[in-house]
Structure 1
């Protein structure tokens, strides 16, 4: 790196303070606030360092730049794979190497757009990236960010959002990620079943009570305050239509046979 270029971590220049006990139980003192801000800056580097490491690994792998590097343990030969080199030279496991290489493009673009996306969040949209492209993956993040706000974007929320998209989702990679985010929001809305008013009162009162009771249990399992009946129905219908997993379909079939 040239003298004129400064890496993000260089700006800290050894300014991360050593761990010390609290100066009191109340508000932070000026010194404590300064220590906190320095540490937050260091923690934010984690997301940047992750995609930089992933891009570096991918560049070395794609160009086979390791091919003339002597093996540390067997110097008579050179490395044959990126995984072998990364694990031997840097202690990066094969699975970790793949994770870093898979997610760096998302991390780089999100960082350029000003998002502080931890690796765990990026990892949740990597499968979507592989199916629909980089702009679509960034669009998912932007959609969740716009809907939930910066403080409420979590890996779990991203994972649950990706599950809501229809299987036949079609996106144009020519569009900007922000435009794609709007398309994705529309796709989720279109895929969510609307219960006709005439059908809302069709359930017997005792069944409604049982569904609501089970929804409370479900909300507890998902660590949420409540889950509306319409959301349960949406997931139930999606599971019923899932040809790859016929368990819900078979259960409905057996209940209908028993009641006929």
Structure 2
């Protein structure tokens, strides 16, 4: 074979290498661009799915159905329960959002140029009028929502999912002593009772224990407020409950019969019901001997089950 049959003129090893390198580089760039596009598309899909997962709505709550059985909840029932609990937790958040919205509109008088729905020739005069006509929120309810949102927001920011009923018990205390003091009361009850046992009733009873001359300031730090609250609680005796004689007739008869039997056993003429009550309460409060306590606890458990 001669050079004419196979002409090598113009063949440049360096040029061929450069072209191949450029081709490979372009291919790598194309592949990287495709990967980037896929990653962005996948990320967008994940974001959309995440937003959909947390989106509230009636469609997220399962329809009411009869129980699957009398025993433990099935996996599906557990899922239904979780969805419903999440829906209930949204209620408090929605209430504080509504309260803050009303307060912002009221404070800025943002309703002042809104035409009255029933009397278009004039604008609304008060937040209560606007809320009632436009949203069916009564005057009293409007005040409740506006009064409670700040404490509700602070408690939620602290990680406490306090429902409206609990917050409402602390609103008067908040108005008198400030937000920090109200949060301090909530934390005091939480530490004493446990996170699952904070109730509106416990908060109400705790607030009643504080003396009327309790001096607190929102300018104090949290530790000072907590110490003041603890000292105030320790220095006040809880109000003694008045003994009640309003016993059911049958129980009153049975108590009298047992009191006679006890008098006979002790060789006494009679024993007053109040004396039996004092001894019973003393035995109930005896930490060294829990027999009476245990019996009463068992009877109360059985009466509520």
Unaligned runs of 5+ in 2: 1-46, 239-271, 283-292, 294-305
The structure-2 alpha-carbon separation of the partners of 1:208 and 1:175, relative to structure 1 and needing over 3 Å to count, comes to: farther
Of 105, 114, 120, which residue of structure 2 is paired with 1:60? Answer: 105
User: 2:62 touches 2:83 (CA, 8 Å); kept in 1?
Assistant: yes
User: 2:156 touches 2:162 (CA, 8 Å); kept in 1?
Assistant: yes
Count of aligned residue pairs for this structure pair: 203
The aligned runs of 1:92-107 (5 Å cut-off) are 92-107=137-152
Q: For residue 169 of structure 1, what is the aligned residue in structure 2?
A: 214
Q: Tell me whether 1:91 sits opposite 2:143 in the alignment.
A: no
Q: RMSD of the alignment, in Å? A: 3.1
User: 2:96 touches 2:149 (CA, 8 Å); kept in 1?
Assistant: yes
Of 111, 114, 125, which residue of structure 1 is paired with 2:156? Answer: 111
User: 1:142 touches 1:178 (CA, 8 Å); kept in 2?
Assistant: no
The aligned runs of 1:187-202 (5 Å cut-off) are 187-192=232-237
The aligned runs of 1:23-62 (5 Å cut-off) are 23-62=68-107
TM-score calculated relative to the size of structure 2: 0.60
User: 1:51 touches 1:103 (CA, 8 Å); kept in 2?
Assistant: yes
Q: Which has the larger radius of gyration?
A: 2
Of 124, 134, 140, which residue of structure 1 is paired with 2:169? Answer: 124
Of 177, 182, 195, which residue of structure 2 is paired with 1:150? Answer: 195
Per-residue deviation, 1:139: 1.1
d(CA) in 2 for partners of 1:177, 1:191: 22
Which deviates more from structure 2 when the two are superposed, residues 163-172 or residues 54-63? 163-172
Q: Tell me whether 1:76 sits opposite 2:121 in the alignment.
A: yes
d(CA) in 2 for partners of 1:32, 1:99: 36
Q: For residue 55 of structure 2, what is the aligned residue in structure 1?
A: 11
d(CA) in 2 for partners of 1:143, 1:69: 45
User: 1:86 touches 1:93 (CA, 8 Å); kept in 2?
Assistant: yes
User: 2:92 touches 2:163 (CA, 8 Å); kept in 1?
Assistant: yes
The structure-2 alpha-carbon separation of the partners of 1:52 and 1:19, relative to structure 1 and needing over 3 Å to count, comes to: same
Per-residue deviation, 1:58: 0.4
d(CA) in 1 for partners of 2:197, 2:129: 38
SS in structure 1 of the partner of residue 60 of structure 2: coil
Per-residue deviation, 1:176: 4.1
- TM-superposition CA deviations, 1:36-69 (whole Å, max 9, x none): 0000000011111111111110000000000011
d(CA) in 2 for partners of 1:156, 1:62: 32
User: 1:140 touches 1:184 (CA, 8 Å); kept in 2?
Assistant: yes
Of 160, 179, 186, which residue of structure 1 is paired with 2:205? Answer: 160
Which protein, 1 or 2, shows the higher relative CO under an 8 Å CA cutoff with sep ≥ 6? 1
Per-residue deviation, 1:138: 1.2
